[in-house]
Structure 1
Amino acid sequence: FEGADLFRFDLSGSNVVGAKFFRARFEHSAKICRNNLKYADLRGANLAKCDLSGNNLSYALLDEGDFTEALLLGCDLGGASTRYARFNGADLRGANVASFDLRTTEMRGARINESQMRGLLENCELIIFPDGR
């Protein structure tokens, strides 16, 4: 699927570990939900406004990918590489974003839960104390 144009692509409930979607274009139309995409190569892929909810994207390569306004609800993104990826306006509530580094990942207007905020800030080497200390 490297460099492919995948308009209205629908993939759900599949085991596609290590799939290669390098620079693939799914923009605005793909529904890729509840799949095992562990170790997938999505570098430079355009998944803007796509539904990626519930996927296992652990250890995936997401560098330079465009996930603007995408739905990534409940995704496992643990260990994923997100260098220079864009998640502006994306919905990441309930997703494992502990490996994201805000210094190299764009997340303007992204939606996250309060519980996810601590890990993101600690990745920026901030020391966070409970209120009152």
Structure 2
Amino acid sequence: MLASKSHPTPQDILAALQAGLDLSQADLYQFDLSGFNLQTAHLHRSILVRANLSRANLSQANLQAADLRGANLSGAVLQHANLQAACLYRADLSGADLSGANLTDAKLQWVRYDSQTLFPEGFPYKSCGAIGPGANLNGAALNTANLRYSDLQGANLLGAYLGGTDLTGANLYRARLVQADLRGAMLTGASLRQARLNGANLARADLRAADLTDVDFEQFESIAGADFTLVQGLSAEMRSRLLRQPKQELETMHPLTLKTTWESLHCQDVSPQ
């Protein structure tokens, strides 16, 4: 342990690990341990809230019941690590290797993963509350989740609550957003190619420069105050369908851009054939 030091530095932690010390229950809140070799480290019940463990080698580490809320584990090696009952709420596992890891009873709600993340064979990562490609998030309340530039291609988000969510630059290719609540959502630069949006509520949504190529919809619940300025892939047929929404919706102004929905639909860069 590090009882002799009330405020150990990352170098102290590394030295302790190299000496084979047990760091169970250590308070490593917001520590920057990126790139560290923490292989076989003893971190049982340790506090690693918002710690930076990106690209760290944590293979075979004991992280049982560790508090990893909001931790950055992008690119980390967690092969055969013990994460039983660990709390990974809102952690970033993009590009992480968890092959062979023990995730029994681990809390993975709102964990971010991507197409490069490796989970243990047979682990149901798509239905554990984590956020990533193909995730099953039907009806989920994600309004406070960090979804900027998230990879949600093919995700199931039917009826999901995304009101006010920051989805800037997110990849929603072929995502299912039927009847999703996207009121006030920030979708600037997001890819919605071939997404299913029928019945979704886009009131006050910021869709500036979003890619709407081949979006599937018949009608939206509302587009009042939505800003479609410079959206890509908006065909003449799609634009005509949007302009058939109630006049009151089209004349509603977006609260930030101060542009009406009707005006934004006439501020297109290039309209495809």
Q: TM (normalized to structure 2)?
A: 0.41
**Which runs of 5 or more structure 1 residues have no equivalent in the other structure?**
127-133
* Cα separation, partners in 2 of 1:88 and 1:6, compared to 1, 3 Å: farther
Check if 1:120 corresponds to 2:242. yes
Aligned-partner Cα distance in 1 for 2:208–2:91: 22
Aligned-partner Cα distance in 1 for 2:139–2:190: 21
The count of aligned residue pairs is 122
Aligned-partner Cα distance in 2 for 1:6–1:75: 26
AA aligned opposite 1:93: T
Query: What secondary structure sits across from 2:162 in the alignment?
Result: coil
Check if 1:55 corresponds to 2:164. no
Aligned-partner Cα distance in 2 for 1:68–1:84: 12
- Structure with larger RCO (C-alpha < 8 A, sep 6+): 1
Q: Which residue of 2 aligns with 1:20?
A: 141
Deviations 1:78-122, CA, capped at 9 Å, x for gaps: 111111110011001111353175542111111212221121111
Query: What secondary structure sits across from 1:33 in the alignment?
Result: coil
Q: Which residue of 2 aligns with 1:68?
A: 188
CA RMSD of aligned residues (A): 2.2
Which structure has the highest strand share of the two? 1
Q: Which residue of 2 aligns with 1:42?
A: 162
The percentage of aligned residue pairs carrying the same residue is 24
Q: TM (normalized to structure 1)?
A: 0.80
* Cα separation, partners in 2 of 1:22 and 1:6, compared to 1, 3 Å: farther
Query: What secondary structure sits across from 2:243 in the alignment?
Result: helix
Query: What secondary structure sits across from 2:241 in the alignment?
Result: helix
Query: What secondary structure sits across from 2:196 in the alignment?
Result: coil
* Cα separation, partners in 2 of 1:59 and 1:102, compared to 1, 3 Å: closer
Q: CA deviation at 1:14?
A: 2.8
Aligned-partner Cα distance in 2 for 1:16–1:45: 15
Check if 1:84 corresponds to 2:230. no
**Which runs of 5 or more structure 2 residues have no equivalent in the other structure?**
1-88, 95-111, 115-131, 251-273
AA aligned opposite 1:115: E
